[in-house]
Amino acid sequence: MSNSLLVTFWGTRGSIATPGRSTEKYGGNTSCISVQYKDQYFIMDAGTGIRPLGIEIMRDHMLEEGKYDISLFLSHTHWDHIQGLPFFQPAYHPSFGLTIYGAKQKDDNLENLLIGQMHSNYFPVPMSALGSDLSIVEIDENELTIGEVKISTTELNHPGGATAFKLSVDGKSVIYATDNELNSQFDLEGNLMNEDVMGKKFFEFIKDADLLIADGEYTQDEYETKVGWGHSSMPVLINTSQKAGVKQLAVHHHDPMHTDNFIDGISTDFLKKYQDSEPRMDIFWAREGLTLAI
Ligand SMILES: [Zn+2]
Ligand SMILES: [Zn+2]
């Protein structure tokens, strides 16, 4: 069995699913990423991309003896991060243990928010019909360990709040950090502004990460018209990550208006600009269906 962290992108789109021919390369499903370590599954967010992941997990593990445990981490409960959950087949099946982790909510609890999404006004099947061994755990900024993998969190700059997750094992780390408006914390060159406390913590959190999957929804021009919406521009994300010594950056949470041609164009421009710059950092635009070993 491989000792790598196997990272697969099941949904890379931000805000709303965008199926169609013009998005088939980078993908139209909303945010969902799986990280496999040995025989364990860690899932980041339950956007529409979690549906095909569920089908694969059913195929691989339904007939195993005993319960197969899945850990699902929710960055926050905006639609594009939870909408796939009612379509995640293992959640319905007694062969699976499903633990959903998310940050403590300010005004409501996580369980109520997820039950609300499956209220009959929005969905025909209630959450109580889920047949898996389901538990919902609200986490603070403390660390937890699942098997050999350590999970730590930090808060992100997003309306209503969002949480980033870092999975660390064998001296390697994979970080999932969306949705996040870095532009009010870091300048265009990636320098922290005004000693911003949350920004400073974020910078420490991503330092030297082997893979950072992070919100780079907008071009700089687009960002200027969307200040306060809770998302980052690509140059601020890229420069901040490079300054923090990130080894590999996946630009994630693509804007629904960004077609494959558009992303091909901007990514080529950025790659040309950064190919000889120091410190060395690999950059790619997250693509649905892509798996990489860390
Ligand atoms: Zn989002
Ligand atoms: Zn959001």
Where are the domains positioned within the chain?
A: 5-293
With a cut of 90, say whether residue 98 has pLDDT above it: yes
- Check residue 218 and report its DSSP letter: B
Q: What is the mean pLDDT of residues 59-68?
A: 88
Contact partners, residue 102, CB within 8 Å, separation at least 6: 73, 74, 75, 76, 77, 110, 136, 137, 138, 139, 163
With a cut of 70, say whether residue 77 has pLDDT above it: yes
Q: How far is the CA of 226 from the centre of ligand 1 (A)?
A: 14
With a cut of 90, say whether residue 39 has pLDDT above it: no
Looking at residue 65, its pLDDT comes to 85
Looking at residue 105, its pLDDT comes to 77
Q: How far is the CA of 63 from the centre of ligand 1 (A)?
A: 34
Q: How far is the CA of 145 from the centre of ligand 1 (A)?
A: 26
Instruction: Give pLDDT tens digits for 165-184.
Output: 999 999 999 999 999 999 99
Q: What is the mean pLDDT of residues 133-154?
A: 92
Ligand number nearest CA of 162 is 2
Looking at residue 264, its pLDDT comes to 98
Q: What angle do CA 192, 196, 202 make, to 5 degrees?
A: 75
DSSP 175-207: EEE-S--GGGTB-TTS-B-TT-HHHHHHHHHHT
Q: How far is the CA of 141 from the centre of ligand 2 (A)?
A: 19
On whether the CB atoms of residues 176 and 165 are closer than 8 A, the answer is yes
Q: For residue 242, what pLDDT band results from cuts at 50, 70 and 90?
A: very high
Q: For residue 104, what pLDDT band results from cuts at 50, 70 and 90?
A: confident
Q: What is the average pLDDT value for the chain, to the nearest integer?
A: 96
Ligand number nearest CA of 156 is 2
Q: For residue 1, what pLDDT band results from cuts at 50, 70 and 90?
A: low
Q: For residue 142, what pLDDT band results from cuts at 50, 70 and 90?
A: confident
Q: Which residue blocks in the chain are alpha helix, DSSP H?
A: 50-61, 79-82, 110-117, 197-206, 220-224, 234-243, 260-274
If one compares 276 and 230, the residue with the highest pLDDT of the two is: 230
Q: In terms of CATH, what superfamily is 5-293?
A: Ribonuclease Z/Hydroxyacylglutathione hydrolase-like (3.60.15.10)
Q: How far is the CA of 266 from the centre of ligand 2 (A)?
A: 23
Q: For the chain, state the CA radius of gyration.
A: 18
Ligand number nearest CA of 76 is 2
